[in-house]
């Protein structure tokens, strides 16, 4: 699940050098040039950027419904797979390393740092409720430790983007070696493997429980929207490419494999939500029918005593 579009590898090709006093990217869209340093002067590239932003926005919101569901239910350790959370965090961490090594834009680094923050929030929730629910004694210090951990993580992650972007700026003045760039794209493939692996523990957890209760479907629905729009943002730009389309696809192949692969697996998660919801409604209807029989049995027992 590539949680951010890796588009900056093609920025240099889209920017034109000023000739005879002509301004840089004269016909480009100003707000895209300001945010992404990318010269977009045709409708295909424009919609590619817009769809990519929609994808980024979906991923930004995807974990928030699960945070609320865990807070409301209080039994997140029974519903969520820790392997799912761990692989998700590993994927985002690999993406951050890939961002740094391939000199991605500051907005992308800030975004992936936010993803890591939400991952840590989900993991902290999971561990908090697991310790709390498995402990027979009330531990007031546990809540304060959780607050301190979240606060320290927030401060660290607020400082991290500034530190990384400053280092990137100084590193960009030097000639980047091919080995560093290759390592960055290797991290992209590693992140895709982690994202793909994240779904299998959750699929198994749901199958073992025969239930999806305690997990928010919006987490997976927004992830599906994010992965689908990301793939579309890459495909839409193809007609406008002046260079080799094959080279462009190869540069984005790691993120495409992750996005489309996870999108496919999330269809299986969706099927589990549908199937196990029917099972839950059947069990609920059976429970609702039990009280209607009990009063009749009680009356018969009272009559037999007389």
Looking at residue 10, what is its pLDDT? 47
Q: What is the pLDDT of residue 116?
A: 86
* Alpha carbons 48 and 44: distance in angstroms, whole number: 6
Q: CA–CA distance from 115 to each of 1, 16, 86 (Å)?
A: 12, 33, 13
pLDDT < 50 regions, the chain: 1, 4-22, 170-175, 285, 290, 292-301
CA–CA separation, 92 vs 114, rounded Å? 10
C-alpha distances out from residue 295 to 279, 292, 300, 303, Å: 27, 7, 9, 13
* Measured distance CA(291)–CA(101) in Å, rounded: 64
Judge residue 96's burial from the number of C-beta atoms within 10 Å of its C-beta, 0-12 exposed, 13-18 middle, 19 or more buried: buried
pLDDT of residue 88: 92
pLDDT value, residue 238: 83
Number of H helices, E strands in the chain: 12, 0
Dmax (CA) of the chain: 111
The reported pLDDT for the residue numbered 131 is 82
């Amino acid at each position: 699940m590539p949680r951010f579009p890796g588009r900056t590898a093609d920025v240099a090709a889209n920017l034109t050098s000023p000739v005879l006093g002509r301004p840089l990217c004269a016909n480009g869209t100003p707000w895209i040039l300001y945010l992404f340093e990318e010269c977009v002067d045709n409708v295909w590239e424009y919609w590619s950027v817009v769809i990519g932003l929609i994808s980024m926005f979906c991923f930004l919101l995807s974990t928030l419904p699960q945070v609320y569901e865990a807070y409301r239910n209080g039994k997140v350790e029974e519903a969520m797979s820790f392997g799912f959370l761990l692989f998700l965090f590993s994927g985002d961490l690999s993406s951050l390393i890939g961002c740094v090594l391939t000199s991605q834009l500051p907005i992308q680094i800030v975004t992936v740092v936010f993803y890591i923050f939400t991952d840590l929030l989900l993991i902290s929730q999971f561990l908090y409720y697991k310790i709390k629910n498995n402990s027979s004694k009330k531990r007031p210090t546990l809540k304060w430790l959780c607050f301190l951990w979240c606060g320290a993580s927030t401060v660290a992650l607020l400082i991290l983007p500034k530190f990384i972007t400053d280092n990137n700026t100084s590193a960009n003045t030097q000639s980047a070696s091919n080995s560093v760039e290759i390592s960055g794209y290797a991290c992209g493939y590693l992140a895709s493997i982690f994202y793909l692996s994240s779904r299998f523990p959750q699929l198994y957890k749901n199958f073992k429980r025969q239930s999806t209760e305690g997990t928010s479907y919006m987490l997976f629905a927004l992830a599906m929207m994010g992965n689908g729009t990301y793939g579309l943002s890459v495909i839409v730009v193809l007609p406008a490419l002046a260079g080799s389309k094959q080279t462009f696809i190869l540069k984005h192949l790691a993120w495409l494999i992750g996005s489309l692969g996870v999108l496919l697996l999330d269809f299986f998660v969706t099927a589990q939500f549908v199937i196990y919801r029917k099972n839950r409604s059947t069990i609920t209807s059976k429970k609702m029918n039990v009280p209607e029989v009990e009063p009749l049995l009680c009356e018969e027992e009272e009559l037999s005593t007389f």
